[in-house]
């Protein structure tokens, strides 16, 4: 496996994956988009693999059974590992509810940073602009994470952002600080 380090305009860039996990509505995509802009502003190569977008293009036809969710997360993890080992910073924003599959994906990567977008269920339900939780509670959406399907919280994520207590910008800045302090991005 290569080291995932590339030289971009005299800047050395180490590829890594920021793997966001958390309930639907916890703020994963919002924070990912802020981070993408901030990292691009540093002149670094970055890609976002958003769970909803990937389901449309890479995992079309998959449902929401545990097996299909695992397949989707493995696919995202595989693409992220390819990009990161070639010097690209990758941000994934997918619920990825099961610890065992997140650990399996971690093993695919040389530089894997788990970011837990922590937010209580009652808060994400109040934020639910798409009405997904309401539909899940009424039985219209079966196998919905946090309602009728489990979400297994990370046991040792590298970064925790508390999206019910922090603004998306504060969470993004917390992640950037961690990346700088741990040598993934130049100070």
pLDDT for 124-178, tens place per residue? 999 998 898 998 999 998 888 989 899 999 999 999 999 999 999 999 999 999 9
Instruction: Identify whether the C-beta of residue 173 lies closer than 8 Å to the C-beta of residue 185.
Output: no
Answer with the residue of higher pLDDT: 168 or 53.
Answer: 168
SS3 at position 168: helix
Q: What is the mean pLDDT of the chain?
A: 89
- 76 pLDDT band, cuts 50/70/90, is very high
Q: Is the pLDDT of residue 9 over 80?
A: no
CB-based contact 16:159 (threshold 8 Å): no
Judge whether residue 63 has pLDDT over 80: no
> Where do the domains of the chain lie, and which CATH numbers do they carry?
5-181 (3.40.50.300)
Whether 58 has a pLDDT exceeding 80, the answer reads no
pTM value? Answer: 0.89
Catalytic status, residue 84: no
Whole-angstrom CA distances from 43 to 13, 67, 182 are 10, 38, 19
Give the per-residue pLDDT at 5.
Answer: 53
Q: How confident is the model at residue 187 (pLDDT cuts 50, 70, 90)?
A: low
Q: Which of 84, 96, 138, 171 is catalytic?
A: 96
CA distance 117 to 108: 22
């Amino acid at each position: 496996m290569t080291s995932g380090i590339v030289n971009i305009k005299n800047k050395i860039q180490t590829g890594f994956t920021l793997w966001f996990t958390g309930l639907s509505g916890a703020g994963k995509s919002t924070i990912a988009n802020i981070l993408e802009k901030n990292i691009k502003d540093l002149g670094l190569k970055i890609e976002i693999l958003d769970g909803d977008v990937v389901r449309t293009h890479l995992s079309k036809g998959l449902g929401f059974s545990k097996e299909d969710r695992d397949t989707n997360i493995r696919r995202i993890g595989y693409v992220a590992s390819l990009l990161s080992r070639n010097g690209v910073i990758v941000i994934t924003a997918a619920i990825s509810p099961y610890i065992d599959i997140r650990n399996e994906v971690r093993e695919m990567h040389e530089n894997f940073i788990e970011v837990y977008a922590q937010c209580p269920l009652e808060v994400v339900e109040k934020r639910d602009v798409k009405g997904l939780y309401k539909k899940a509670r009424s039985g219209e959406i079966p196998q919905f994470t946090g309602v009728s399907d489990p979400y297994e919280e990370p046991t040792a994520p590298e970064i925790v952002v508390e999206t019910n207590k922090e603004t998306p910008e504060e969470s993004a800045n917390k992640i950037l600080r961690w990346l700088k302090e741990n040598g993934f991005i130049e100070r």
